[in-house]
Amino acid sequence: MSPVGRAILLVFVGGTLGSMARLTVSLLLYQHYLGAGNHYTVAMAATLAVNVIGSFALGALAALRQHKRISTVLWLLLGVGGLGAFTTFSAMALDTFIAIQLAHWSLAGLYVVATIAGSVSAAALSYVWTLYLTRSPRVSA
């Protein structure tokens, strides 16, 4: 198999697993909270959860990749494929539009800010934390 074909296969397998994980998170939240709120608020919570969790995981993988602690194979499988399918910006955009359409302005604004700030913060935190945890031991003189 060519290197391009191998990369496509790795991203495909990772994407399949990532999308299944995303569906699992959504189903668990629906099962647990469906009686507690409207359908769209549960959908927003699920999207927020996967975006922040996925951003945290991607930050750690990026730190490991940058410092050559994981292979290209794992990066393609878990980072590009798995977390690429696990997280979703398009679902957040649709959830926000539905909230606006229903005139839930403050919920829509809070959701956008929480998703973006939470995801960026999670990625940064895990990146720095992973670098700290995987730093090379210092040799004393």
Please give the torsion angle defined by the CA atoms of residues 58, 62, 65 and 67, in that order, rounded to the nearest 10 degrees.
Answer: -140
What is the reported pLDDT for 140? 52
Please give the torsion angle defined by the CA atoms of residues 120, 73, 50 and 35, in that order, rounded to the nearest 10 degrees.
Answer: -170
Look at residue 139 and tell me whether its pLDDT is greater than 60: no
Which residue reads 């790795």 in tokens?
10
* 115 annotated as a binding-site residue: no
* 24 annotated as a binding-site residue: no
**Whole-angstrom distance, CA of residue 28 vs CA of residue 69:** 33
DSSP secondary structure string for all residues of 65-97: HHTT-S-HHHIIIIIIIIIHHH--HHHHHHHHH
Mean pLDDT, range 2-19, rounded to an integer: 97
Q: What is the pLDDT of residues 74-114, one digit of tens each?
A: 999 999 999 999 988 877 887 888 889 899 999 999 999 99
Name the pLDDT band for 39 (thresholds 50, 70, 90): confident
Mean pLDDT, range 53-72, rounded to an integer: 91
Mean pLDDT, range 39-50, rounded to an integer: 84
The whole-model pTM stands at 0.76
Q: Where are the alpha helices (DSSP H) in the chain?
A: 3-33, 39-66, 72-74, 84-86, 89-101, 105-133
Which residue reads 């290197």 in tokens?
3
**Whole-angstrom distance, CA of residue 119 vs CA of residue 129:** 15
